[in-house]
Structure 1
Amino acid sequence: MRTVIRCDDPEVDPYRWLTSLVLPRPIAWISSVGADGVANLAPHSFFSVACAHPPIVSFTSVGDKDTLANVRATGEFVVNLATLAMLELVNNTSARFAPDVDEAAALGICVEPSTLVTPMRVTDSPASLECRLHSTQTLGDSTLVLGEVLAFSVREEMLVDGRPDASRLRPLSRLGGNLWGLPPDPVAVRRPVQPDEIV
């Protein structure tokens, strides 16, 4: 037995169903700067990898948010990894601050210069992706933003054998409603290359 929720039902809010069923969703804690020089820091949970070569990540702005306006104006942004230790700060930056307010400054979040782009990166974030705008696409009430990654900035203690280690990064994720996902318990499973390697 299943309950079927039709998206064309005017009483149905697809957003609530999407965010409750597409789980877990990684968080792009995005720092950006507007044309007026005002910095912005906000979490976006519609975030993923879009292409490997060239390296491109994507996030979706549901509505016209300050992050989207800044990225369109300057063509740059930084994705900062959100961790368990930063849960309260990440959540607080989701509040509806006025466009002329720098969330990091207002909340006492330490930032530092990025290497290749103007937006600052979050100092305590274990890893940041410095991005240049590739393109945007309007999808209904939302805008898909594609950004080419120019540089990865990773704290050395997060690396094992030269690669980021999930158990050290301890990333947060978003679930439905007010629920957040805690850092996962990683499980290593060898991927079969050929069907005869399946066990």
Structure 2
Amino acid sequence: MFYRPEEGHGLPHNPFNAIVTPRPIGWISTRGPEGDNLAPYSFFNAVAYVPPQVMFASTGAKDSLAALQASGVFCVNIVEAAAVDAMNATSAALPRGTDEFLHAGIAKADCATIDCPRVEGAPAALECRVTEVIALKGRDNFLIVGEVTGVHLRDDCLVDGRFEVTRFSPLSRLGYRDYAVVRETFELTRPGEK
């Protein structure tokens, strides 16, 4: 099968989100003029090591985008399998200004380098300063880039000096309504690497 996106795919469901998988979920917390906000984004990833930078994409005029444009900061909370129901609750279309932390019964903690809440007990949280908000093609598509200014790691996820993902089983987004959990890893050495 081949198709051009502008001509349509002819399938009952758009396959695009199922092609680029698995995608990590950035559970983005913000604090803005209307209060605290928490929402999951599956168009999220790390994009640079030095300085550490992350990005996520937002569609539509969401509370997270408005808050981070006002404050210049956001926090990426990493979602573990045990938090799937809470994460899903924060994806609901709620009235503007609703605190998703309260709505989903999620405990908040303060960030150390920015004025923003984070998910207390998340396996990891990345405190970020916004470096760019880029308007993408299409209606209300935005790419947000942030520089990481602080990193929280849950102690039980550290094993022999490494952040061990099998300790918390990260949740990732597939296509359609499908998700995956990382429970097994393997190591692979590049050719010529010692």
TM score, norm. by length of structure 2: 0.92
Measured against aligned partners, the alpha-carbon deviations of 1:46-102 in whole angstroms (never above 9, x if no partner) come to 011111111110000022211111111111111001010000110111001112100
Counterpart position of 2:124 = 127
CA distance in 1, matches of 2:61, 2:183: 32
Counterpart of 2:110 in structure 1: which amino acid?
A: P
Match of 1:34 among 32, 35, 40: 32
Match of 1:99 among 96, 100, 103: 96
CA distance in 2, matches of 1:153, 1:39: 19
* Residues 1:89 and 2:79 aligned together: no
Unaligned runs of 5+ in 1: none
Contact 2:37–2:98 (8 Å) recurs in 1: yes
CA distance in 2, matches of 1:90, 1:58: 19
Contact 2:90–2:103 (8 Å) recurs in 1: no
Counterpart position of 2:178 = 179
TM score, norm. by length of structure 1: 0.90
Q: CA RMSD in A?
A: 1.8
CA distance in 2, matches of 1:17, 1:62: 18
Measured against aligned partners, the alpha-carbon deviations of 1:144-173 in whole angstroms (never above 9, x if no partner) come to 100000011001111122221111131000
Aligned residues: 191
Counterpart position of 2:75 = 78
Contact 2:36–2:99 (8 Å) recurs in 1: yes
Counterpart of 2:49 in structure 1: which amino acid?
A: A
Unaligned runs of 5+ in 2: none
Moved over 3 A (4+): 10-13
Following TM superposition, by how much is the alpha carbon of 1:103 offset from its aligned partner in structure 2, in angstroms?
A: 0.5
